[in-house]
Chains A and B, each alone.
Chain A
């Protein structure tokens, strides 16, 4: 079994080093394939990163009319430059909103888990630079069964369940808010 991305949501500080780091991978043409979202701006400073989820049955690849998106050793690769026609089917098909299209080149680009790094056994750039270890690159079995908190890797989109190789660590919102609960600000005394 190969290594996968594990995302420990509660550690994200929203610094976007992953986004900038992604641009630094030599195969990435300085185009970042990483996303960071503010969960509820104004209510909380909580943020979370969204990398490619590397689905077992990737909708992006299935929707591609020219079979430009290959899966190699469990990594859903960026579209082949030779084949891609920039039609954006993949961007509409992906339930996580991951593939983007470079309008100037009419080419799709997405996370390939930094193929030039991971093929040498070195973690992808987003994981390498992440200051808080929100993003980790670990064995799939470990990520899915041996973490110290509940994890999620199956996603129900209106009855269609998608299983992903990327695993999300779910914060324990009973002991900590981590900004995920709706609250009336914090407890200060005026």
Chain B
């Protein structure tokens, strides 16, 4: 075992190997934990996938899996897999040959681009793809299509964390330390994350700390399974994180618990923060957040006195119009106490998508080039152009963010390639998204299932599930790991990277897209990232195998990666000092009022992943959570005359949805909760507010104003 993996949760057992089977050693396709697993495959010509076997020796999860992980393999041999290209004819999607489909796709790209200009064709991609594919898609947009218009669904997921980290410490790696560091904290603060449901395999680390006597503070408007076992549950009103943290900082300053020496030597901006938080007394913060002031006092003191604290947060903090600044405010806690850069001390965001980390590093963001370089930076453009073998002028400038792209469909953007994403479920105000997608002159989608979005496409190209391809992903910690795949791909489906390279070839840009394997792409990515912030240049497939993953930055062949950032207390700014940000509470974009008196917040359940395109098709998961529901407090239910199990119509200014009511004492009476994994008549995103964080461009999924009323089963439509 490599020394970097010493403090993890692997178990000392060997996987069972059965006669007539082979094990494919890979990782789960779902969340950012990227748990190790073996896939059981029958040794035969068809290589039928038959099950899962624990991978006890992988450090992160030691064989443990959540229900999604156990059931993940069931996507492979699924009757709803797309196995043939589909083309819309007379309004219906019908099977076609690859030749016909590709002729149409390439013909339409050429036609639209010559008529309206290069930028009229856009790419909307995703972060559940390998690093190789994410890199390739970014490169294909810039020098295959020559369009500036590319962005990805990570915009809805990780963009506030990224912006917050960048403005606070100058580098956006999801975790400052290896996940094993969590075990060595004295105080854990988990905010806006239902860790137990959304990242279950982090729980051994949380319990690892608790078994050593650590205190757990959870910030959440609901008493989730994570909050249930907390020492302190700060049950805030959604959208008030900034004020809550200001209250904690107020207590820390007042009690003299700020690490003045660290702050003096290693940060800038303390004066403004100290001045601002004076106004955030526990009394005032109780009023804003709804959290009892004695709990704010207690939490501030626990965090201030901790020898080592670890601060963790997720979408509950980030998916707000103030998401980026809320992230920076949580990071302030670590910086003001000097709790960073050593075992047990640091901060992290729980990456939602499988490759949410790697997917935001290598150039599929509107403003970014590989290695986390800025597309506006002349030196970065020059370097990447030299790697790609093009003139710097051929690389377009920055495009627009995901939601703004959706708004431009049919306007500036006439044609769209959608890869690995399902905005018809995941975007806010999806009724409007449907209109926009339908207004496109040409819409091509690559997917392994006919998602709600693919259903609207003019051409659907059948691609592969994760265990049919090779590549790498980067997990929640910043550890680059190997995804291993098998042959064959079902029916006529093809691997995404092969399809993209073929389109490039047909567009006459094939000279830039000739790869023999994902490893070939990775080796180019290594060079392209060299010298960038996310430097992968020293990472090879062989090294990943030998070390069970390599943490970036890894700048040379003899370098073994960087499990923990900031050990030298140098932050990624020219002066080496972290930036403290003084953040005033503004609250959510949409406030409750007499007509819409309740706060709607949305989130996930343990059985489903993102837009549900995969997990809703897996029967064993679907039966555990077949439909969305509305959680509400008994007092709220009484107030609006709603019984448990009754149908309830929930409406915002943008749309409505009819779901079953689930009355629980574990939610604030001013808040209702609906999980978001469904589309069409079951999509809560008909209601959510598309207001964007001006810095990260993340929509405010976590708060909007709604009203509820009892209704009956017949009223299932939505608007």
Please report A residues at the B interface, Cβ cutoff 8 Å.
10-11, 13-17, 19-21, 23-24, 26, 41-47, 116-117, 120-123, 125, 128-133, 148, 176-179, 183-190
Contact = CB atoms under 8 A, between A and B. Distances in A.
B444 interface: no
Given A11-B207, A16-B624, A185 B70 contact: no
Contacts of A130: 64
10 contacts: A11-B207, A16-B67, A19-B67, A131-B204, A132-B203, A178-B228, A185-B634, A187-B292, A188-B668, A189-B292
Given A13-B197, A123-B11, A187-B235, 16 more contacts: A10-B229, A14-B225, A15-B66, A16-B606, A17-B64, A24-B70, A42-B664, A43-B664, A45-B664, A116-B16, A122-B13, A129-B70, A132-B203, A132-B207, A185-B633, A186-B666
Interface stretch (B49-57, B148-156, B323-331): B49-57
Nearest to A116: B16
A103 B607 CA distance: 27
A132 B204 contact: yes
B79 interface: no
A172 B163 CA distance: 41
Interface string B655-673: 0000000111110111000
B228 A179 contact: yes
A144 B292 CA distance: 41
B200 A17 contact: yes
A21 to B, nearest CB: 5
A188 B294 CA distance: 12
Contacts of A184: 665
Given A17-B70, A188-B290, A129 B235 contact: no
Contacts of A117: 16
Contacts of B575: none
Nearest to B53: A24
A188 B287 CA distance: 11
A178 B204 CA distance: 17
A131 B201 contact: yes
Nearest to B233: A186
Interface string B585-598: 00000000000000
Interface string B55-99: 010000101111101110000000000000000000000000000
A41 B18 CA distance: 41
Ordered nearest first, which 10 A-B pairs have the shortest CB separation?
A185-B665, A131-B200, A13-B196, A20-B70, A128-B54, A188-B235, A132-B203, A129-B65, A13-B225, A15-B606
A128 B63 contact: yes
A49 to B, nearest CB: 13
A189 B204 CA distance: 32
B244 to A, nearest CB: 12
A45 B220 CA distance: 14
B666 A185 contact: yes
A121 B607 CA distance: 30
B66 to A, nearest CB: 5
B224 interface: yes
B70 A21 contact: yes
A45 B228 CA distance: 8
A24 B49 CA distance: 13
A116 B53 CA distance: 13
Contacts of B665: 42-44, 183-186
Size range of the interface on B?
35 or more
A115 B624 CA distance: 27
A122 B197 contact: no
B67 A20 contact: yes
A20 B52 CA distance: 11
B64 A176 contact: no
A176 to B, nearest CB: 7
A139 B665 CA distance: 39
B223 interface: yes
A42 B663 contact: yes
Nearest to B70: A20
B669 A190 contact: yes
A120 B223 CA distance: 41
B644 interface: yes
A152 to B, nearest CB: 20
Contacts of A43: 664-665
Nearest to A26: B18
B13 A15 contact: no
B629 to A, nearest CB: 12
B222 to A, nearest CB: 9
A14 B361 CA distance: 35
A118 to B, nearest CB: 11
B523 interface: no
A190 B670 contact: yes
Nearest to B211: A148
B54 A20 contact: no
Contacts of A24: 51-53, 70
A43 B662 CA distance: 11
Contacts of B644: 42
B620 interface: yes
Contacts of B181: none
A121 to B, nearest CB: 7
A45 B290 contact: no
B427 interface: no
Q: Could you say which of A47, A120, A188, A189 has the most chain B C-beta atoms within 10 Å of its C-beta? A: A188
B528 interface: no
A131 to B, nearest CB: 4
B218 to A, nearest CB: 11
Contacts of B223: 44-45, 185-186
A46 B228 contact: yes
Contacts of A125: 54
Interface string B290-316: 111001000000000000000000000
B286 interface: yes
A21 B69 CA distance: 10
Contact of A188 (B56, B64, B291, B662): B291
B568 interface: no
A26 B54 CA distance: 13
B254 to A, nearest CB: 21
Nearest to B221: A188
B229 A178 contact: yes
A190 to B, nearest CB: 6
A111 to B, nearest CB: 17
A91 B634 CA distance: 37
Contact of B203 (A121, A131, A183): A131
A187 B669 CA distance: 11
